[in-house]
A and B are shown apart, each in its own frame.
Chain A
Amino acid sequence: MCDVCGCGHHHDSKSPSTSHDHPPFAKGGQGGIIGETRIIDVNESLLKSNESAAISNRAHFDEKGIFSVNIISSPGSGKTTLLEKTIEALKNDINIGVLEGDIETDLDAERIRKKGIPAVQLTTGGACHLESSLVHKGFHELEHQLNGKKLDILFIENVGNLVCPSFFNLGEHIRVVLVSVPEGPDKPLKYPKAFKTSHVFIITKSDLVPYFDFDIEKVKKDALSINPFLNIFVISAKTGEGLKEWFDFIKKQKHD
């Protein structure tokens, strides 16, 4: 058997084409086809399996009256710190739950639990983004921890990565993208899909602006040119700048 295409002919290694007298894909040809062949029209998204699980996640959140937020950014932009600050400020007013996505370790979920909030760590074991089936599993685990207590807001902290998470809808109500000042001002232009698919853009570590060439107005303008509907916040967890506006925004979502 020919080990190039499995056709049953012998290839002459010097002139493979001359000893190959069957047309490609004919009966008995490539892949050893023996039955009838036919074309099936599909016309569906390559992301369909993730999308179907995302739709069921969203239905589940809606049924429970939970507003869900998917947070994406590069590693080190301050996703977990933003969550810690948000929890400290709002935990007496609203019930918050957190799903923490990481490639490895339970470190971030532990940071959140220290704030007295139920958190489940989702470790992807290598994958650079969360997918909706993993969120589904994690959410059931979180419900188990909640023991009947109602949630108002579910934060899903994605794996630190500005590329891949933007492809995978998790069923969230809004997607929030973070860029920290030290990362540089070119992020919206270099990673347009993350900004195109998000609803909120947060510039973090604004206290560092004096030390970096980071023109906040230009970055906002670039982001808005990719997605004119972005709601933009400029914050510093260190000085507290802009945090109140973000907290108010989240508090409002509870009633929506």
Chain B
Amino acid sequence: MHEVSIAMGMIDELTRIARENNARKVITVKLKIGKMSGIVIDSLQFAFDAAKLEYPLLNSTAIFIEEVPLIYECNNCKNTFKTDDIYFPSCPGCKSYNLKILSGEELHIENLEVEV
């Protein structure tokens, strides 16, 4: 359940950003969570919704989560491809295992909509 700690860290960050921008409340938060980030999205949502109630700036904040697919680039033939295989993906073109991750590890706050 590292999602609870991550939700608490997120609350600290959102509070800081909201205060810096003189926001009265945070309406929505958009997150990008990669398929290989290791986050259980439902757990994060649950933890955030339970914890936010104690924070006046955040107690009605809705979070929207975009799940980012796992995309690799092959270092051998430069082919890029999407996969669900988080363990041993190989390039569908040349079968090489020498790959670079282009996306799928994200764990980001993209933006927030605030009332000022």
Contacts and interface: CB of A to CB of B under 8 A. Distances in A.
Given A30-B60, A189-B87, A42 B112 contact: yes
Contact of B114 (A38, A50, A192): A38
Nearest to B2: A164
B108 to A, nearest CB: 6
B110 A42 contact: yes
B2 A129 contact: yes
A41 B113 CA distance: 9
Interface in A123-176: 127-129, 131, 163-164, 166-168
Contacts of A43: 108-111
A236 B17 CA distance: 50
B115 A34 contact: yes
A31 interface: yes
A35 B116 contact: yes
A167 B6 CA distance: 9
A38 B107 CA distance: 23
B12 A49 contact: yes
A17 to B, nearest CB: 18
A167 B114 CA distance: 29
Contact of A33 (B27, B86, B107): B27
A13 interface: no
Contact of A38 (B88, B109, B113): B113
B96 interface: no
Contacts of B12: 49
Interface string A19-52: 0000001000011111111111111111111100
A112 B26 CA distance: 47
B18 to A, nearest CB: 8
A192 B87 contact: yes
Contacts of A193: 38
A167 B3 CA distance: 10
A6 interface: yes
Contacts of A164: 1-2, 5
A97 to B, nearest CB: 25
Nearest to A49: B9
B110 A163 contact: no
A95 interface: no
A189 B97 CA distance: 16
Of A32, A34, A36, A45, chain B has the most CB atoms within 10 Å of the CB of A45
A81 interface: no
Nearest to A48: B13
Contacts of A226: 87
5 contacts: A30-B60, A37-B116, A42-B17, A47-B6, A164-B2
Interface of A: 6, 25, 30-50, 127-129, 131, 163-164, 166-168, 189, 192-193, 225-226
